[in-house]
Structure 1
Amino acid sequence: MPPSTLSQLLSERKIKALILDLDGVITQTAKVHANAWKKMFDDYLLQRGEQESVVYKPLEIATDYRDYIDGIPRYDGVRNFLASRNIVLPEGTATDAPGKETVAGLGNLKNNYFKKLIEQGGVQVYPDTVAFLQNKIAQGFRTAVISASKNCQPILAAAGLEELFEVRVDGVVSVELGLKGKPAPDVFTEAARQLGVQPQEAAIFEDALAGVEAGKAGGFALVVGINRTDETSELLKHGADLVLDKFPTE
């Protein structure tokens, strides 16, 4: 028997709502985030290494970004990556100046780099995702967008996509509600709650390993991995029920 298609699974599992991650699923901003992280950390590690007469290994997007940063709250990403280089910094506060040698200061500097890159290059979307969403909304599916980023709303606005989503649970909302970052399922379960559906009635669409882990941990009816960077086996290993290279036109 051939494997079920996405549309078949949505029907078989009686899915009512679709909850999509932003970066790497809807918009092509995952690459922008990765480049901003690399610039910030490489500059910091070079400067610190010169002061300590130590050579620190630069950030590798294919491994370090995926394993320590992708899909999780910004300051958690700073902390995780620094730990991989045996560096511990004071936490600082959200008001720390960008570049201050604290977890918050480095995270704020990364955010500045990200915003500059967006200003220079704009926001590119994945047309397959937009077409899929428009089709499913016309069929009556409820929709929500989630993101660890506090830049979610302005990115959606810049891309002209705000009207596609009834609910947005992003980094701003997570702080307000005290939600844990992925791989905890909090952002997904909160999105389902705001849509008025149970996790067993919703499908998750994620490109990050921490994201598919979160969807599985939340007991969602369907966890779909979106494979933008040739990680099919890893997405399946971390909890995806189905992996797609792009959204179907059906």
Structure 2
Amino acid sequence: MLGLRAVLFDLDGVITPTAEIHMHAWAKLFSAYLASRGDTSPYTDDDYFAHIDGRPRYDGVRAMLASRGIVLPEGSPSDAPELDTVCGLGNRKNTVFTAVLEEDGIAAYPGSLAFLDAVVAAGLDVAVVSSSKNAEVVLTAAGLRDRFDVVMDGVVAAREGIAGKPAPDTYVEAARLLGLTPRQCVVVEDAHSGVEAGRRGDFGLVLGVDRGIGAQVLLDAGADIVVDDLDEFIAPLAEAARTPRPDPADPQTPTDPHHDLSEDHA
């Protein structure tokens, strides 16, 4: 990791436990909606992980509806939450999410906050890359907005026409805004779609955080390593930062014309 230049963090489920609020909001939305249609197969957490987790909001609605063979009009992002359109359902979910966030607030995972401190202390740049259009609100509520110069979220992606996860485009754009290439960056994700984005973008390292989806699912999606909490990296990262690294300008250092320390992801 120390051979790379930046760490690109997903937000929900990686830095903050907002994934739990999102899961609650999605469950409330689809349990009621499917019941209203007479669907006898109940909505479950498996539906969330398979069709919604990590995707932009309306993409999640489309994927979930498609899994039940339901086709609705697309509508527009300005649709009222009461409308039975793709955008209307997405907006309905967001009203639940916003209400819970405003009422209960949010705090970062302690291990993730400590890991963020550790990578910054080690001299790496950081950015947030989230499919959520609530990223700014969540970061502000958690007291972390000033920690990130680059926040690539669902609002920016929609405005700039950047494809969401599992496409790698939002991560690639965040790297560009930091003045870096994907191979110089670490992606940290808890969602199958986010890990897939990191792998498809050929990033230097893809770290998975298992918040319930299962370590093997993240490994199969392309994660290089999976942990239960990011604090597992802190001690080895601190130790590595204290260890002198070879100077490529030192004539005593063996050279490899094909080896670029800035892109070393061992």
Amino acid of the structure 1 residue aligned with 2:28: K
159, 166, 176: which one aligns with 1:176 = 159
CA contact under 8 A between 2:49 and 2:213: conserved in structure 1?
Answer: no
**What is the CA distance between 1:99 and its match in structure 2?**
2.3
33, 40, 47: which one aligns with 1:56 = 40
Note the 1:110-189 alignment, pairs <5 A. Answer: 110-189=93-172
Cα separation, 1, equivalents of 2:104 and 2:214: 26
**What is the CA distance between 1:249 and its match in structure 2?**
2.7
33, 38, 43: which one aligns with 2:32 = 43
In the alignment, structure 2 segments of 5+ residues that lack a partner are 236-266
CA contact under 8 A between 1:199 and 1:219: conserved in structure 2?
Answer: yes
**What is the CA distance between 1:80 and its match in structure 2?**
0.5
Cα separation, 2, equivalents of 1:83 and 1:203: 33
Amino acid of the structure 1 residue aligned with 2:18: T
Corresponding position: 1:218 with 2:179: no
TM-superposition CA deviations, 1:200-239 (whole Å, max 9, x none): 1000000000000000000100000011215111100000
- Aligned residues: CA RMSD: 1.0
Cα separation, 1, equivalents of 2:225 and 2:87: 36
Q: Secondary structure at the match of 1:71?
A: coil
In the alignment, structure 1 segments of 5+ residues that lack a partner are 1-9, 50-54
Instruction: Please name the residue that 1:249 is paired with.
Output: 234
**What is the CA distance between 1:138 and its match in structure 2?**
1.9
TM-superposition CA deviations, 1:51-91 (whole Å, max 9, x none): xxxx3322211x11011000011011101001111100000
Instruction: Please name the residue that 2:52 is paired with.
Output: 69
Cα separation, 2, equivalents of 1:187 and 1:125: 22
Q: TM-score, normalised by structure 2?
A: 0.86
TM-superposition CA deviations, 1:167-220 (whole Å, max 9, x none): 100000001111111110011001000011111100000000000000000010
Number of residue pairs aligned between Structure 1 and Structure 2: 233
Corresponding position: 1:208 with 2:197: no
Note the 1:97-116 alignment, pairs <5 A. Answer: 97-116=80-99
CA contact under 8 A between 2:53 and 2:60: conserved in structure 1?
Answer: yes
Cα separation, 1, equivalents of 2:119 and 2:63: 37
CA contact under 8 A between 1:56 and 1:85: conserved in structure 2?
Answer: no
Instruction: Please name the residue that 1:21 is paired with.
Output: 10
Q: Identity over the aligned pairs, expressed in percent? A: 49
TM-superposition CA deviations, 1:139-171 (whole Å, max 9, x none): 211000011111100110110011221210000
